Amino acid sequence: MSPAKCKICFPDREVKPSMSGLHLVKRGREHKKLDLHRDFTVASPAEFVTRFGGDRVIEKVLIANNGIAAVKCMRSIRRWAYEMFRNERAIRFVVMVTPEDLKANAEYIKMADHYVPVPGGPNNNNYANVELIVDIAKRIPVQAVWAGWGHASEN
């Protein structure tokens, strides 16, 4: 939508650029400088959901992947949780672990809060087995599943 068309459809609004594109905002609205710690820091995922109008709290995530993919996911979410909640452990992680991963003492296992043993061998026995992933997600239970890349994310 062009800025000219916006003025016709939304005469009380103006287009403001942001990092994620153009947004319509009410004309004449005072924009105060945000204090990130005051305006966006909350104590828990439940408070975050309530404050920002959501309806599903995610406190436990099943990581249905292994290796560096799992490590990067957990590091990113923990960094975000620390910035948002001042608690990097506000979101807990459950990982799937094959006998091969356990024998190799894989880094992602050390980072997890809980692990679930799964069959070894080809990935259709474990990380690409969608039925197994759904079964684990229901049994634990978790509020979200992160499939990562490769394995189940490509099924």
Banded pLDDT at 51 (limits 50, 70, 90): confident
State the CB neighbour count (10 A cutoff) for residue 122.
10
Q: Give the CB-side neighbour count of residue 56, counting CA atoms within 13 A.
A: 6
pTM: 0.73
CATH 3.40.50.20 spans which residues of the chain? 52-154
Asked if residue 13 has pLDDT above 60, the reply is yes
- Among 148, 105, 13, 137, CA closest to 1: 13
Query: Which residues does residue 115 pair with via DSSP β-bridges, in sequence order?
Result: 95
Backbone φ, ψ for residue 31 (5° rounding): -105, 110
Q: Which CATH number is 52-154's, of 3.20.20.60, 3.40.47.10, 3.40.50.20, 3.40.50.10490? A: 3.40.50.20
Per-residue pLDDT reduced to its tens digit, 79-138:
999 989 999 999 999 999 999 999 999 999 999 999 999 999 998 889 899 999 999 999
| Cα 80 to Cα 20: distance, rounded to the nearest angstrom | 19
Q: Are 22 and 15 in contact (CB under 8 A)?
A: yes
